[in-house]
Chain A
Amino acid sequence: EDQVTQSPEALRLQEGESSSLNCSYTVSGLRGLFWYRQDPGKGPEFLFTLYSAGEEKEKERLKATLTKKESFLHITAPKPEDSATYLCAVTIMKTSYDKVIFGPGTSLSVIP
């Protein structure tokens, strides 16, 4: 069964304390992996797309990497404004359409 998991479920960091979030997937026919950020009461906001193992993308304090079985979202020297839920999603190809599967998310709190 196609599945996406994320760990940890929740993460509490001190401002400036770097860490990584994990997204693991068990799917067939991976076409792309996406990271989104979601603030409370709002819709998810797109961060990165990764298409092949070894690929990396960076944006400010965030860096996303992809292997054949998982992706990491590295947060360097986080600030309180980085507090949010981070969602990963994979797109897989079915016979006549592509299917998007979201992970459950990691809730990040950055304490000043």
Chain B
Amino acid sequence: KAGVTQTPRYLIKTRGQQVTLSCSPISGHRSVSWYQQTPGQGLQFLFEYFSETQRNKGNFPGRFSGRQFSNSRSEMNVSTLELGDSALYLCASRPRVNGELFFGEGSRLTVL
């Protein structure tokens, strides 16, 4: 069974630009979550989608948004990038509520 796939793996942007990251969950998993990971803050929850609906949202500004498609694939978008947005963005899917998370390899974003 294929794991969680994230694209792109690495990207470099400049301040003010926007970026879109993509995530394909494990087949059959309808829940997709996004996390931001930085050395200083650890894993910070961004949002979770289930069956195309946002179920939960973390404490991030409105520049961070996401969506989920009918095939459970998800995208997250960050607009007006800031230097502090440089991080590893991780996507995770899970098979059920209160189930374990299966993470992708992440998308490493560098903002210059």
Contacts and interface: CB of A to CB of B under 8 A. Distances in A.
A96 B56 CA distance: 9
Question: Dominant SS at the A interface?
Answer: strand
A50 to B, nearest CB: 11
A43 B4 contact: yes
Interface string B76-106: 0000000000001010100001101111111
A58 interface: no
Instruction: Give the interface size bracket for B toward A.
Output: 20 to 34
Interface of B: 4, 33, 35, 42-43, 45, 48, 55-56, 88, 90, 92, 97-98, 100-106, 108
18 contacts: A31-B98, A32-B98, A41-B88, A41-B108, A43-B4, A43-B92, A44-B101, A44-B103, A46-B100, A46-B102, A91-B98, A94-B56, A96-B55, A99-B45, A99-B56, A100-B45, A102-B42, A104-B42
